[in-house]
């Protein structure tokens, strides 16, 4: 695998991981008011780039969804259908400010990987153009 192909694969793995992260952040935001909902997080792990052949861990991948184990807030609302005999039910442990910050970070990281991908592609096209002369 050439250096340019490897760079494209690395940038693509970063974009794919950040897209997965952003999808779960969106789910968290959508379920912020859902009783009993636990925030989802997506850790990243090193991964071999497809077609690399070296076995070296040079990319990144989403390692799977983890649920936030912080305690769910107890909400007092005696008339709620999920309320127990004390009038409380479990709320969601999603903090919208954290989710918005995570979404912005994932978006910027995705865009940075996209710029690397695009620059590498342009370099390859320029090289092909020079070779045609």
* DSSP conformation letters of 45-68: EEEEPTT--S--EEEEEE---EE-
Distance CA 68, CA 31 (A): 14
End-to-end CA distance of the chain: 25
51: confidence class by pLDDT, cuts 50, 70, 90:
low
Q: pTM score, two decimals? A: 0.82
99: confidence class by pLDDT, cuts 50, 70, 90:
very high
SS3 33: coil
Sign of torsion, CA 8 13 15 16? positive
Q: What was the pLDDT predicted at 71?
A: 94
Sign of torsion, CA 98 103 108 109? positive
Residue that has been written with the tokens 């994932």 in this structure: 106
Q: What was the pLDDT predicted at 50?
A: 62
Do residues 60 and 43 touch, judged by C-beta distance below 8 A?
no
């Amino acid at each position: 695998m050439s250096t340019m192909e490897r760079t494209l694969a690395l940038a693509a793995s970063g974009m794919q991981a950040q897209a997965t992260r952003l999808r779960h952040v969106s789910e968290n935001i959508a379920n912020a008011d859902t009783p009993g909902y636990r925030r989802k997080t997506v850790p990243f792990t090193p991964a071999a780039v497809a077609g690399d052949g070296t076995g070296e861990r040079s990319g990144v991948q989403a390692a799977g969804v983890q649920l936030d184990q912080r305690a769910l807030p107890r909400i007092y609302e005696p008339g709620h259908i999920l309320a127990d005999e004390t009038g409380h039910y479990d709320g969601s442990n999603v903090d919208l400010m954290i989710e918005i910050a995570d979404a912005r970070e994932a978006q910027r990281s995705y865009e940075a990987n996209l710029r690397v991908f695009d620059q590498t592609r342009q370099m390859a096209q320029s090289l092909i153009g020079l070779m045609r002369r």
